[in-house]
Amino acid sequence: MVETSQRDAVIKVRGLRNQFGPQVVHDNLDLDVWRGEVLGIVGGSGTGKSVLLRTIVGLNQPAAGSIEVLGTNVLTAPEEERRQVETRWGVAFQDGALFSALTVLQNVMAPMREHLKLSTNLMKELGGLKISLVGLPHLACDKLPSELSGGMRKRAALARALALDPQIVFLDEPTAGLDPIGAAAYDDLIGELQRALGITVFMVTHDLDSLYAICDRIAVLAEKRVLVEGPIETMTDVDHPWVQEYFTGPRARAAQVKKSGSQ
Amino acid sequence: MGVDEPHLELRDDAGVKVVQLSGDLVTAHLGSLEHSFAKAQALTGAVRIELEGLTGIDTGGAWMVSQLRKRVAEAGGEVTLSGGAPDHIALIETVTQAAFESEMHEVVALGRWAWVEQLGKTAVAGYRAALSLISFLGQVLAGIAGALMQPHKLRWASLVTHMQDVGFSAVPIVALMGFLIGVVLGFQGASQLQQFGAEVFVVELISISVLRELGILLTAIIVAGRSGSAFTASVGSMKVQQEIDAMQTLGLDPIKVLVVPRVLALLVMLPLLGFVANLFGLFGGALMSWVSLDVSPGMFITRLHENTDVKHLIVGMVKAPFFALVIGVVACWQAFQVQGSSTSVGRRTTSSVVQGIFLVIALDALFSIFFADLGV
């Protein structure tokens, strides 16, 4: 289905403007996300990476602009149509945002209960499958989120995001707060799931290793818009002080070495 | 993007049972196929799953195919997959690999004797909670004693803030409550006593019941609901945010920093609030006696002086610090029992209010027996 010659934009953001009081976060921001790619969003603190994610998934009302997800304008679409689109994306928040009163399995089943007409047994099986797909041990099913480590919570959040077999997955700093081994495993997991399930991944991250390891394309947020976008190799050629510092600094070089070493 | 309804067809092809799948086998449409899949899972012998007709598949669909293959193979059947796009097959294999080795483990059912286990668990939990509460009471008392012996170490700013929250801010509600209690007693007393011309005894009725019991008891109940819940919620949230752990690593004793100022504030303010309730109770009673029984305020005060011993006031006031201690200790203890999530804070806050009020009433009953034995 994926045609390389004619790319198919699953998310189209045009002329987006976000403003909190007098503070303008985004101004005239354009962004396209292609089907089946892993897009990494980077930018300094306060450049509105998370705000962009929240705006696309409808948690933040922009001051101006249009956002089209899977062919539906999510800002103007009627309620019913919006709900339809919502079942086709999954969001994993930074700290998991799992429902604290429910077990991990119940968390994963929560969106299924709402949107699917399946028997409870099948939902349990599918929930268990999602949990094992994200690499959590079986024992984790019956645990409460408060009984999990930070890394496990992130995986559980990903399992919940995958509950409805979405076409797009939004990840907010998926590897923040994980140890390097856990972060690398999480990167592998996202890459693997992306290949196996053919999903599109929209990822806000600061982790250079993730950017090198799994992102097909990078979009840099600066000066209230998407300053540049493209494969990571092209980033070092960009003539902008922040981008230069970010992609040619010591950490970036280390990540690059690691990537070429592992291949 | 339309979705083709998925279909499952069973047929027989020269002794080989064929399960033919077609359409978009996606989670959203699995519901209609659950039954057919269950039927297919019961097949035995040689089975061929034909995937040619599939136009799409997701993990849910792949799971169904994978389970079907597993079940039939387990029953001794021979299963082959035929056709299917490479990425469909790949997804089915990914899902098969990811599937748990172990079946969903079952909850051990105890049948009709489950209540015995539950009873035992509840009893043990209650016993442990009681021990823990008593030990907490000891720690708080030691903390208060320490604070009184070294007043410079007491957190005065915190104490004063809590005294304001617990005491001063509660004056209006406590005064109104006291006034209404006096009015109700006056009105009820009047209608009963009038029947045998003993109107004037309404003064004793009001003064003794308000001073001895109701003023302090109802104040304590209001404070348990108002401040007990606030203590549990605020300290409990600190526990969730790991602030209490942070305190301990910084060498600060959470009992001294958080609990002692709160309990001390209650110890000081609850008797004062009780006194306010008493005053307004008498005032409400006097007003009602005047309106409905023509007992003038002057006569009310004279009878109050002559016939109501000051011991009633003392009996009432003596109980106040004990009530304060119970409310404060239960609220803070519940806060320390908070575990993990914010749900736990809500549950503990409820328990804090319920237990606080219950223990205050139970203690009041004990005091009644105690004072009756003493003859006061």
Higher pLDDT, A197 or B224: B224
Q: Kindly report the pTM of this predicted structure.
A: 0.68
pLDDT for A3? 42
Question: Domain containing A252: what range?
Answer: 1-88+201-263
Query: B11 has which bridge partners?
Result: B18
pLDDT for B246? 86
B128 in a structural domain: no
Q: Output the six-digit token pair for A67.
A: 């956002």
Neighbours of B294 (CB within 10 A): 10
Q: What is the mean pLDDT of chain B?
A: 88
A231 in a structural domain: yes
Alpha carbon distance A170, A136 (integer Å)? 20
Contact B31, A118 (CB under 8 A): yes
Q: Which of residues 65-104 of A touch B (CB under 8 A)?
A: 70-71, 87, 100-101
B265 and B315: one domain? Answer: yes
Last residue of a domain, one of B51, B82, B98: B98
B146 and B22: one domain? Answer: no
Confidence band for B220, pLDDT divided at 50, 70 and 90: very high
Identify residue A51 by its one-letter amino acid code.
V
Beta-carbon separation of A126 and B63 below 8 A = yes
For B147-159, how does the pLDDT look when each residue is reduced to its tens digit (9 = 90+)?
Answer: 889 888 888 889 9
Residue B280 pLDDT greater than 90, yes or no = yes
Taking the Cβ of residue B85 and every Cβ of chain A, the question of whether any pair is shorter than 8 Å is answered with: no
Contact A74, A37 (CB under 8 A): no
pLDDT for B36? 86
Tell how far CA A173 is from the center of its chain. Answer: 8
A125 in a structural domain: no
Taking the Cβ of residue A159 and every Cβ of chain B, the question of whether any pair is shorter than 8 Å is answered with: no
B219: nearest Cα among B159, B271, B169, B160: B271
Q: What percentage of chain B has pLDDT greater than the value 90?
A: 48
B89 and B140: one domain? Answer: no
Q: What percentage of chain B has pLDDT greater than the value 70?
A: 96
A140 in a structural domain: no
A234 in a structural domain: yes
ipTM comes to 0.74
Higher pLDDT, A181 or B329: B329
Give burial (CB, 10 Å; 0-12/13-18/19+) of B111.
exposed
DSSP string, B56-111: EE-HHHHHHHHHHHHHHHHTT-EEEEE---HHHHHHHHHHHHHS-SSPPPPPPP-G
Confidence band for B108, pLDDT divided at 50, 70 and 90: low
Taking the Cβ of residue A109 and every Cβ of chain B, the question of whether any pair is shorter than 8 Å is answered with: no
pLDDT for B109? 59
Question: Domain containing B56: what range?
Answer: 7-98
B105 in a structural domain: no
Query: What residue ranges of chain A have pLDDT lower than 50?
Result: 1-5
pLDDT for A255? 78
pLDDT for A2? 42
B207 and B287: one domain? Answer: yes
Alpha carbon distance B20, B49 (integer Å)? 6
Residue B234 pLDDT greater than 90, yes or no = yes
Residue B143 pLDDT greater than 60, yes or no = yes
- Number of structural domains found in chain A: 1
Beta-carbon separation of A129 and B95 below 8 A = yes
- Number of structural domains found in chain B: 2
CB pairs under 8 A between A and B: 73
Cα radius of gyration rounded to whole Å, chain B: 36
B313 in a structural domain: yes
The CA distances from residue B31 to A115, A124, B38, B214, B240, in Å, are 11, 14, 12, 62, 40
Which of A202-216, A240-254, B84-98, B351-365 is modeled with the greatest confidence?
Answer: B351-365
A38 in a structural domain: yes
Alpha carbon distance B217, B46 (integer Å)? 80
DSSP string, chain A: ---SSS--EEEEEEEEEEEETTEEEEEEEEEEEETT-EEEEEE-TTS-HHHHHHHHTTSS--SEEEEEETTEETTTS-HHHHHHHHTTEEEEBTTB---TTS-HHHHHHHHHHHH----HHHHHHHHHHHHHHTT--GGGGGS-GGGS-HHHHHHHHHHHHTTT--SEEEEESTTTT--HHHHHHHHHHHHHHHHHH--EEEEE---HHHHHHH-SEEEEEETTEEEEEE-GGGGGG---HHHHHHHHSHHHHHHHHHHHHH-
pLDDT for A246? 84
Mutation for A interface: B104, B239, B343, B347, most A CBs within 10 A? B104
Lowest mean pLDDT among A59-63, B128-132, B220-224: A59-63
Residue with the two structure tokens 């899977």:
A70
Report chain B residues whose CB lies below 8 A from the CB of A145.
Answer: 341
pLDDT for B269? 96
Q: Provide mean pLDDT across the span B347-369.
A: 95
A160 in a structural domain: no
CATH at B23: 3.30.750.24
For B161-185, how does the pLDDT look when each residue is reduced to its tens digit (9 = 90+)?
Answer: 999 999 999 999 999 999 999 999 9
What H or E segment, with its residue span, contains residue B39? helix B34-41
Beta-carbon separation of B1 and A124 below 8 A = no
pLDDT for B366? 96
Lowest mean pLDDT among A70-74, A153-157, B109-113, B330-334: B109-113
Residue B38 pLDDT greater than 90, yes or no = no
Alpha carbon distance B181, B221 (integer Å)? 14
Nearest to B98 among A70, A115, A129 (CB): A129
Report chain A residues whose CB lies below 8 A from the CB of B95.
Answer: 129, 133
Identify residue A19 by its one-letter amino acid code.
Q
Residue B104 pLDDT greater than 90, yes or no = no
CATH at A218: 3.40.50.300
A78 in a structural domain: yes
A22 in a structural domain: yes
Residue B359 pLDDT greater than 90, yes or no = yes
pLDDT for B2? 56
Handedness of CA B71, B72, B77, B81 (dihedral sign): negative
Beta-carbon separation of A126 and B34 below 8 A = no
A194 to chain B, minimum CA–CA distance in Å?
11
Identify residue A154 by its one-letter amino acid code.
K
